[in-house]
Amino acid sequence: MTEEHRQPAQAREKSEDAGRNRSDNPTLGDVIATRYERRDVLKGALGVAAISATLPWAALGAIGRAEAQENSRYIFKEVEAGSTPEHVVAEGYDADILMRWGDKVLPGAPDFDPAKQTGAAQKLQFGYNNDYLGYFPMRGSENPSAHGLLVVNHEYTNEELMFPGLGRQDRKEVAFKKMTPEIVAVEKAAHGGSVLEIRRDNGKWRVIGNSKFARRIDAETPMDISGPAAGHPRLQTKADPSGRRVFGMFNNCAGGVTPWGTWLTCEENFHGYFWGKIGDKHPEYRNYRRYGVPSNWFNWGAYEDRSDILKEPNEANRFGWVVEIDPFDPQSTPKKRTALGRFKHEGAAGIVNKDGRYVVYSGDDERFEYVYRFVTAKPVDRNNLAANRDLLDEGTLSVARYNPDGTVDWFPLVHGQGPLTGANGFASQADVVIETRRAADLLGATKMDRPEDIDANPSTDKVYVMLTNNSRRKPEQIDAANPRAENRFGHIIEMIPPGGDHASPQYKWDILVRCGDPSIAAVGASFNPATTKNGWFGMPDNCAIDADGRLWIATDGNAPSKTGRADGLWALETEGVLRGTGKLFFRCPNGAELCGPCFTPDGETAFVAVQHPGEADDDDPNAAPATYENPSTRWPDFKPDMPPRPSVVAITKRGGGKIAS
């Protein structure tokens, strides 16, 4: 989720800057402007020479668009871009609803009744706003691509679409006046995550009821804190004097799956869950100001002390972490792995390095924030998966600086090195990971345009960074990578570790695509000319690498008033003459964002998460506010007495076979 989904359009400029980066570090635009200063930039749009230098388009001169498309690695008839109440998938495919908000997860769950919601019922039912998806083949299964566990993040709640007669409650003029303790209980239970056992029979996926693996995790589930910050006084509270036990996780956005069979889920916009006002006398004033705490998106602090920063000044330090969960043991205790740093984590996708160590990449999803990498101290033990249980508690967290010469330097965030000393307020490694943003400021990391999901391709060792947008870019900051003021469409960076060594202190980097409509010169998009009018996209958010090493892009922020199209799932060529060619495969219903694409090992199923269907187009001044009674769609049930419901969709090819092959 981006912060714009919790704020009306007129308040976004302020809200998206909640944890404003006030450092003097160079922005990515500054770096790229230096790198490409010799190239032509014409009125905010790249000149032909500059475009040709970054993509292999010259080779397209010898072949036509149709022939180029025949050479694509993605074989399917492209979906037409647009926006409708229904979802749309490529011809020859089925996109079946697998699980909806309110469906039963645990034994004893009641049937979903939107008019009679309770916190107790929601704890047993599928949560709201499904985001990251991860698939775990069932251990010992005869067909691991047809039987497994699906893990799902539940990021946040839209009260205006969930409850009859409520409307938006976080607006100043409303001030949560219709909220009640019971509504808050439902909200808290709808956060967190779900574990589902699923099976494909006769070509169709289903959730196995009463599975011994089924689990709901929410904002009150007990969790352990591990790593360098565990037990530190800045994590101690009245309810937990040990600083090692916390209740719940929330705003869990993207994530990852480890080779030892655990689920990594990331707390992103944690700042919005804390209530109250902060002054410079608050013991965590400098720290919380850097993260935008408090932002008062939810009024939980009206009903519990821990969400009120004046009553529990350390509680916010216990959120913003990567959480590790064993999906095969529903009795296991989730662990917040503090060695990976505290920030607005988007993603924790990883790769086993050539030396056996595990490497996790993560973006900090806010404008002008940073890209991070964590390298474990010890290698993965593939022969004894249990030996990796605490592998993520020891290692080196680093932050990226993108240089004008096309290199990336990784700066270790290690206490005692460089400026990370007591003189700057870092008395230990615990302080470094609690205040990761401020530590990265001091190291001179590059300020990026909202880094979200990051994934490494095990087939090529290339790493892809989704940069969703940055509407704060000023006209004087126009440059080759961001050739427009108010970069609303984003871009994708490709990083290449030398010799496939993901622990190397320096990589190479380049731009894969600049997003937006390439037919509008002023936009400065750089999709390959083979891309059709349906194949370009804006606002890249999540990504996935399939079993054949192909890149897929999920978007967040496309809307009729912005791009004339809904969000969806695009295939994106990364190699050869078609590098930079997009192709639309799946389109979301009105108001929805596409999240969490993942594939089964055989490549025959793509799972996607459709989040917040029914939202209004806030950038359209003529659009009516979306409410329970007046959503922009009633997907997926399309019943007058049923609100829109975030859902997981299973996509398969009719008659069987690999997706896009």
Tokens representing 563? Answer: 């791009």
Segment 386-392 shows an average pLDDT of: 97
Q: In the predicted model, is pLDDT for residue 483 greater than 60?
A: no
* Tens digit of each residue's pLDDT (9 = 90 or more) over 405-446: 899 999 999 999 999 999 999 999 999 999 999 999 999 999
CA distance 137 to 9: 42
| Strand residue runs (E) in 535-618 | 540-545, 551-555, 568-572, 582-587, 593-599, 605-611
The mean pLDDT of 28-49, rounded to a whole number, is 48
Q: pLDDT higher for 65 or 341?
A: 341
How high is the pLDDT of residue 9?
Answer: 41
Indicate the DSSP class of residue 19: T
Q: How far is CA 286 from CA 280, 425, 435, in A?
A: 8, 10, 9
Query: What is the reported pLDDT for 209?
Result: 97
Q: How far apart are the C-alpha atoms of 308 and 22, rounded to whole Å?
A: 26
Lookup result for tokens 């399939």: 546
Q: Measured between alpha carbons, how far is 283 from 298 in angstroms, rounded to an integer?
A: 23
Residue 66 has pLDDT above 70, yes or no: no
53 pLDDT band, cuts 50/70/90, is very low
More confident residue, 271 or 45: 271
Residue 3 has what pLDDT? Answer: 58
Q: Is 134 helix (H, G, I), strand (E, B) or coil?
A: strand
Tell me which of 562 and 232 has the higher pLDDT. 232
**Which pLDDT belongs to residue 51?**
40
CA 407, 413, 416 angle in degrees (round to 5)? 125
pLDDT at 28 (0 to 100): 64
Q: What are the structure tokens assigned to 461, written together? A: 């060792």
Q: Which residue reads 């302080």 in tokens? A: 431
Strand partners, 322: 266, 337
Q: Is the pLDDT of residue 652 over 60?
A: yes
Which 3 state secondary structure label does DSSP give 305? Answer: helix
Of 252, 200, 260, give the one whose Cα is nearest residue 223.
252
Rg (CA), the chain: 23
Range name among 28-32, 380-384, 508-512, 610-614 with the lowest pLDDT average: 28-32
Phi, psi of 655 (to 5 degrees): 90, -5
CA–CA distance, 317 with 334 (Å, rounded to integer)? 17
SS (H, E, C) 25-88: CCEHHHHHHHHCCCCCEECCEECHHHHHHHCCHHHHHHCCHHHHHHCCCCCCCCCCCCCCCCCE
Give the range among 5-9, 130-134, 352-356, 383-387 with minimum mean pLDDT: 5-9
Residue type, 130: N
Higher pLDDT, 15 or 355: 355
Q: What per-residue confidence (pLDDT) applies to 430?
A: 98
- Pairing mode of beta strands 322-325, 335-337: antiparallel
The span from the CA of 5 to the CA of 140, in Å, is: 41
CB 567 within 8 A of CB 593: yes
Residue type, 457: N
CATH topology (fold) of 3-653: Neuraminidase (2.120.10)
> What per-residue confidence (pLDDT) applies to 64?
63
Q: Residue 621's pLDDT is what?
A: 86
* Average pLDDT for 588-599: 98
Q: Write out the H or E segment, with its range, that includes residue 290.
A: helix 285-291
CB 13 within 8 A of CB 469: no
pLDDT per residue over 307-326, tens digit each?
Answer: 999 999 999 999 999 999 99
Using pLDDT thresholds of 50, 70 and 90, give the confidence band for residue 2: low
Task: Say whether pLDDT at 501 is over 50.
Answer: yes
**pLDDT, position 33:** 64
Task: Tell me: pLDDT of 6 over 70.
Answer: no
Distance of alpha carbon 13 from the chain centroid = 20
Query: What pLDDT is attached to residue 26?
Result: 73
DSSP letter at 391 equals G
Q: Which residues contact 24 (CB under 8 A, 6 or more apart)?
A: none
pLDDT of residue 441: 98
For the cut 70, the answer to whether the pLDDT of residue 58 exceeds it is: no
Task: Give the mean model confidence (pLDDT) for residues 256-261.
Answer: 98
Task: Read off the pLDDT of residues 234-247 as tens digits, 9 standing for 90 and up.
Answer: 999 999 999 999 99
> Residue 615 above 70 pLDDT?
yes
Is residue 131 pLDDT above 60, yes or no? yes
487 pLDDT band (50/70/90 cuts)? confident
Whether 588 shows a pLDDT value over 60: the answer reads yes
pLDDT at 480: 45
**Distances, alpha carbon 228 to alpha carbons 232, 243, 318, in Å:** 8, 12, 13
Amino acid 223 reads M
pLDDT given for residue 484 in this prediction: 56
Tokens representing residue 566 in the block = 């809904």
The reported pLDDT for the residue numbered 466 is 97
Backbone φ and ψ of 195, nearest 5°: -115, 125
DSSP structure string for 463-512: EEEEE--BTT--GGG--SSS-SSSB-S-EEEEEE-GGG-TT-SEEEEEEE
Question: Which whole number is the average pLDDT over 365-392?
Answer: 96
DSSP letters, 177-203, are: TT--HHHHHHHHHHSEEEEEEEEEETT
What average pLDDT does the structure give for the chain? 92
| pLDDT of 69 over the 80 cut | no
Average pLDDT over residues 545-567: 96
Question: Does the pLDDT at position 78 exceed 70?
Answer: yes
Q: What is the pLDDT of residue 49?
A: 35
Q: What is the pLDDT of residue 475?
A: 73
Give me the mean pLDDT over the 380-396 stretch: 97
Of 451, 597, 584, 547, nearest to 130 by C-alpha is 597
Strands 582-587 and 41-42: unpaired
* pLDDT above 80 (res 11): no
Dihedrals phi, psi of 98, to nearest 5 degrees: -95, -40
Q: Which of 79, 57, 69, 71 minimizes the C-alpha distance to 534?
A: 79
**133/154 Cα distance (integer angstroms):** 10
